[in-house]
Amino acid sequence: MNYKFFPHTQDDVKQMLDKCGLKSLDELYKDIPEELQFKRDYDLPRAMSEIEVRNFFEELAMNNNPLKCFMGAGVYDHYTPAVVQDIVNRSEFLTSYTPYQAEISQGTLQYIFEYQSMMAELTGMEVSNASMYDGCTATAEAMMMAVSNAKKRNKVLISETVNPFVIRVVETYAKFHGIDVEMIEAENGVTSRADFEAKVGADDVAGVIVASPNFFGILEDYTGWADFCHEHKTLLIMNCPASALSVIKTPAEWGADIAVGDGQSLGIPMNFGGPYVGYLCTSKKLIRKMPGRIVGATTDADGKRAFVLTLQAREQHIRREKATSNICSNQSLMALFVTVYMSLMGKQGLREVNEISYSNAHYLADQLVKTGKFELEYPDKPFLNEFVVKTSLDVDDLLNYLEISYAAGVPIDDDKLLMCATETISKEDINDLIDAINEYIKEEKEDKNDE
């Protein structure tokens, strides 16, 4: 029992048991029927010393292979400035609880207020909550918000151009929550306006979910869509990767009612899928329909400006089954992560990140086309840092070949690849990738000649 996480000496245990009028630790469990108690040893490894734990993970790490990353599909390899992780690791932030005791949680409450302010700026919306789990669940929550707002409508539309990882989560939530989800068709990589108008025009739709940049990396033109939605009493929900919002037209500028998405692109490492941070922003009008925590400004007993969790009457711990959502824990520390990132980068830094990513991605696309084996799937569509190429090469075989050094893209069909470039990629990296692809083409040709 004498172990580094347990401060109890034998004497402590005895004195404490005495205070309770008990003779042994087992007596603490005497109210549990014998037959329900667990009597054997767990089938687990023996305790490891810190050295052994280190060695264990070192060995596991050797079975992972982080590669030069040309993959996106919702998760982007942006650079994390050193300051960010250092601040996030501060134990005053890391080991603190949800800031219900505001007097000793101003650190947490202040950064959430800053986070909300920054996300509102990025999306152009009036208000933001304190964070959601990820972009997928944030979108599902927005869907439920739209249905709750519409009262008598139970249908939500989602464009086929939205990231399929988002769509499948939205569909799961919808299935159980009793919401009908219908797809809006894609046409040449963008959401079909005709299909959108036909379906929204039926006047039974609570909300419409679209994306920009969409799954194929395309910046879609939603001119007039919000007006059309509002004429038919439908909410427009837009899903956008957060970093792109520093340069592209914002959900607010399009007239959207709810902006959602993943904040991972704001410098959060790819982390093998998590933790990330979902954001959800909306108008003041809809604030009481919002899921999750919200921090507001107020004053203390001495009149000092300070921050506190507010509008809690929406939440599960007060409203129980009538709450706007069941969310309790969110991704608070990751909200701090992106807040520190945005503080460092500012509007200029975020713009530069997107400029370099844009340049890299467009150079990459040009160089791929020059190999003669690739063409852009949607050549007339504008993109930011991600695009789809169609190839005459065997996609799986090519990716396998490149896997020594590159995660070269996400295969989205037998002959299509979704590729992306961020500021962490250099011109030389792209040239090296193209050289490797040309090498593959050459070897493939030789193989064919041999046959």
Partner 1 sequence: MNNTFYGKLIFELSKEGRKGYSLPENKLAEYKLNDLPAALMRQEPPCLPEVDEMTVVRHYTNMSNNNFGVDTGFYPLGSCTMKYNPKINEQMCAKPEFTQLHPLQAEADIQGALAVYYNLQRSLAELSGLKEFTLNPYAGAHGELTGLMVMRSYHLDNGNPNRVKVIIPDSAHGTNPASAAVCGLEVVVVKSRPDGTVDVEDLKPLLDENVAGMMMTNPNTLGIFEHNIAEIAKLVHEAGGLMYYDGANLNPMLGKCRPGDLGFDIMHINLHKTFSTPHGGGGPGSGPVGVREGLEKFLPNPRVIREQLTDDIYYYHIEDGEDSLGSISGFLGNFGVMMRAYAYILTLGKDEIKNVGPLAVLNANYVKESLKDYYELPLDGVCKHEFVFDGLKDKSTGVTTLDVAKRLLDYGFHAPTIYFPLLFHEAMMIEPPENESKETLDEFIEVMKKIAIEAKENPELVKTAPHNTPVRRLDDTKAALKQIVTYRELLSVDEL
Q: Which stretch binds partner 1 (CB under 8 A): 153-161, 191-199, 225-233, 397-405?
A: 397-405
Q: What's the CA gap between 326 and 339, in Å, rounded? A: 25
- Asked if 363 is part of the footprint of partner 1 (rule: CB under 8 A), the reply reads yes
Give ∠ CA 421-426-430 in degrees, rounded to 5. 65
Kindly tell me which residue out of 23, 285, 427, 442 binds partner 1, with binding defined by CB under 8 A: 427
Find the shortest distance in angstroms from Cβ 336 to partner 1: 7
Q: Which residue has the tokens 């009908």?
A: 180
**DSSP codes joined into one string, 352-383:** HHHHHHHHHHHHHHHHHHHTTSEEESSTTS-B
Q: Which stretch binds partner 1 (CB under 8 A): 48-56, 154-162, 193-201, 433-441?
A: 48-56
DSSP H or E segment with residue 53:
helix 50-61
Q: Which is nearer to partner 1, 165 or 378 (CB)?
A: 165
Residues 399-418 that bind partner 1 (CB under 8 A): 399-400, 403, 407, 410
Q: What's the CA gap between 430 and 368, in Å, rounded? A: 10
Q: Which residues contact 142 (CB under 8 A, 6 or more apart)?
A: 207, 209, 237, 258, 260, 280
- Asked if 445 is part of the footprint of partner 1 (rule: CB under 8 A), the reply reads no
Kindly tell me which residue out of 182, 201, 382, 413 binds partner 1, with binding defined by CB under 8 A: 382
Task: Report the sign of the C-alpha dihedral through residues 30, 35, 36, 37, in that order.
Answer: positive
Token representation of residue 142 = 């927005």
Alpha carbons within 13 angstroms on the beta-carbon side of residue 58 total 6
Q: Which stretch binds partner 1 (CB under 8 A): 29-37, 154-162, 387-395, 433-441?
A: 29-37
Find the shortest distance in angstroms from Cβ 194 to partner 1: 20
Find the shortest distance in angstroms from Cβ 298 to partner 1: 4
Find the shortest distance in angstroms from Cβ 209 to partner 1: 15
- Asked if 397 is part of the footprint of partner 1 (rule: CB under 8 A), the reply reads no
Q: What's the CA gap between 338 and 331, in Å, rounded? A: 11
Q: Which is nearer to partner 1, 124 or 438 (CB)?
A: 124
Q: What character string, x for contact with partner 1 (CB under 8 A) and - otherwise, covers 217-236?
A: --x-x-x-------------
Cα 443 to Cα 199, 373, 393, 403: the distances in Å are 50, 14, 12, 16
Q: Specify whether the CB–CB gap between 129 and 116 falls below 8 A.
A: yes
Find the shortest distance in angstroms from Cβ 372 to partner 1: 21
Nearest Cα to 444, choosing from 403, 394, 404?
394
Nearest Cα to 234, choosing from 280, 184, 188, 187?
184
Residues 262-281 that bind partner 1 (CB under 8 A): 262, 269-276
Find the shortest distance in angstroms from Cβ 267 to partner 1: 10
Q: Which is nearer to partner 1, 134 or 160 (CB)?
A: 134
- Asked if 198 is part of the footprint of partner 1 (rule: CB under 8 A), the reply reads no
Kindly tell me which residue out of 13, 183, 434, 441 binds partner 1, with binding defined by CB under 8 A: 13
- What count of other Cβ atoms lies within 10 Å of the Cβ of residue 277? 31
Q: Which is nearer to partner 1, 380 or 447 (CB)?
A: 380
Residues 83-102 that bind partner 1 (CB under 8 A): 83, 85-87, 89-99, 101-102
Cα 384 to Cα 134, 165, 254, 269, 332: the distances in Å are 22, 20, 18, 20, 29
Q: Which stretch binds partner 1 (CB under 8 A): 41-49, 154-162, 224-232, 433-441?
A: 41-49
- Asked if 63 is part of the footprint of partner 1 (rule: CB under 8 A), the reply reads yes
The single-letter DSSP state of residue 213 is: S
Residues 296-355 that bind partner 1 (CB under 8 A): 296-302, 304-306, 308, 310-311, 315-323, 325-334, 336, 339-340, 342-355
What are residue 348's phi and psi, to 5 degrees? -70, -45
Q: Which stretch binds partner 1 (CB under 8 A): 182-190, 197-205, 244-252, 436-444?
A: 244-252
Kindly tell me which residue out of 10, 34, 47, 447 binds partner 1, with binding defined by CB under 8 A: 47
Find the shortest distance in angstroms from Cβ 32 to partner 1: 5
- Asked if 130 is part of the footprint of partner 1 (rule: CB under 8 A), the reply reads yes
